[in-house]
A and B are shown apart, each in its own frame.
Chain A
Amino acid sequence: MSSLKILLALITIAWASLIGILTAITILILPLTQVIESSLAASLARLGFSLILFAVWVFWLFELALYISIKLSRGRGGKR
């Protein structure tokens, strides 16, 4: 498979997982933090949890991109 097709697949995975993460934040994190009485503390908790989820998303996609890079360059005979 060409590198372009693989990148298109990577972007599709990133898109689907981004929608999933936004859904998870809205369904799980926003209601969960409503139990916190102070609105500022609740907002900070929402921001913190959301950033953790986004960080996990970014690192996961990075590992996937690294794996793709290794696989593609092995195809052309690159040394690792």
Chain B
Amino acid sequence: MSVAEFILLTLLSFLSSFLLSRAIARNIRSPMLMGVDVHKPNRPHVPKIGGLAFTLGYSAAMILNWFMGGGVAGLVLIVSPIIAAAIGLLEDVKELNPYVKPLLLLLPGIPILILSAYSPYPIIPLLGNIRITIIYPVLMLAAYTVVANAVNSVDVLNGSLALSTLPVLILLAAVSWIEGGLSQALACIVLSASLLGFLRYNWYPARVFSGNIGSNLIAAVITTVAITARIEVVTLVALLPQILNEFFIIVSMGGLKSGKSLAARPIRVVGGMIVSSSKLSDPITLVRLITSQRPMGEADVSKRMALLGVYSSILALITYLIMRVKLA
């Protein structure tokens, strides 16, 4: 693939995501597809399937990449994320059982298993390759559901999903490129461009929400890149804020539960500011920790979540360099 084609696909995904986000913000009014922005004083209703915009932008660019010779990696980078996004769309229109959702999210890993697009010899920093031929496929399937829930768990404020995952995608693009995974690098750049187009309408005050369709797509792209480019541990480190957030919520709530059914809230909104809960028993989340010291505006909290993403991506880069030193 030439540099011109790379730039063209990136621009295509940005423009299509931008225009589709605008179309969704202006035209979607069906009550089934609207969500309430609970952090605003007037609690406006906002279309909650904005993720469809960057899902279509990403898919169009990656399908063109596959026709231009994307290979097996290019194919799984289309199929797995689309399966995950379809599950997300289903959840956006119909409340899923909190135990059924993780099981459904095992499905995006199936194409990788069928096409054998993985290597069961992950690289561990300081130690090098390890051989886990039997466990690896199980861990791989589980990775989709863990990452999807982790990425979804930070989609709580205007702009927080896009801002906190952009640094991760940029890091993965760079590392994949160095490792020779051009389709993987393209997938990360194309998705980043799509997210920037979407962010114009998702930034405070949001006119569209991403919804589960969007968070599932991002998670599936990240997981597929990690597996096919063999950078599993680097990805795990880059996603530390999201993964810690997810585990903290699960431990706080004593298991997998739908957030909508719980009365306990980690934060509340007072005069347009986000204030952390003062009850010990309420869930521990990144947003609660960020606002523990003083109340903050929604945009400020999202910016701090982005900074955590940048920092964990730097740690992931250090982890990658340690891996390279060991393998050299």
Contacts and interface: CB of A to CB of B under 8 A. Distances in A.
Interface string B215-245: 0000000000000000001001100110010
Contacts of A3: 289-293
A73 B278 contact: yes
Contacts of B278: 73, 78-80
A61 B247 contact: yes
Contacts of A6: 289
A35 interface: no
A69 B286 CA distance: 10
A22 B122 CA distance: 11
Most buried by B among A39, A46, A62, A75: A62
Chain A: interface secondary structure? helix
Chain B interface category by residue count: 35 or more
A68 B291 CA distance: 12
B289 A68 contact: yes
B260 interface: no
A23 B312 CA distance: 19
Nearest to B322: A19
B124 A65 contact: no
Contact of B126 (A11, A23, A75, A76): A23
Given A3-B289, A69-B289, A26 B308 contact: no
Contact of B135 (A22, A47, A75): A47
A14 B241 CA distance: 9
Given A15-B240, A18-B237, A7 B290 contact: yes
A49 to B, nearest CB: 11
A56 interface: no
B312 A70 contact: no
Contact of A19 (B125, B130, B248, B280): B125
B311 A8 contact: yes
A68 to B, nearest CB: 6
Nearest to B318: A15
B289 A26 contact: no
A5 to B, nearest CB: 10
B135 A11 contact: no
Most buried by A among B237, B251, B312: B251
A59 B244 CA distance: 10
Contacts of A18: 236-237, 240
B240 A80 contact: no
A28 to B, nearest CB: 12
B307 interface: yes
Contact of A22 (B125, B132, B134, B312): B125
Nearest to A40: B134
Given A61-B247, A73-B276, A76-B292, A11 B312 contact: yes
18 contacts: A3-B291, A4-B304, A6-B289, A10-B244, A15-B240, A22-B127, A22-B233, A23-B125, A46-B135, A58-B251, A59-B251, A61-B244, A62-B247, A66-B284, A69-B276, A72-B289, A78-B278, A80-B280
Interface of B: 124-127, 130, 132, 134-135, 138-139, 233, 236-237, 240-241, 244, 247-248, 251-252, 276, 278, 280, 284, 286, 288-294, 304, 307-308, 311-312, 315, 319
Interface of A: 2-4, 6-8, 10-12, 14-15, 18-19, 22-23, 26-27, 30, 39-40, 43, 46-47, 58-59, 61-62, 65-66, 68-70, 72-73, 75-76, 78-80
Given A43-B134, A65-B289, A69-B289, 13 more contacts: A7-B289, A11-B241, A11-B244, A11-B312, A14-B240, A15-B319, A30-B132, A43-B135, A68-B289, A72-B289, A73-B292, A75-B293, A80-B278
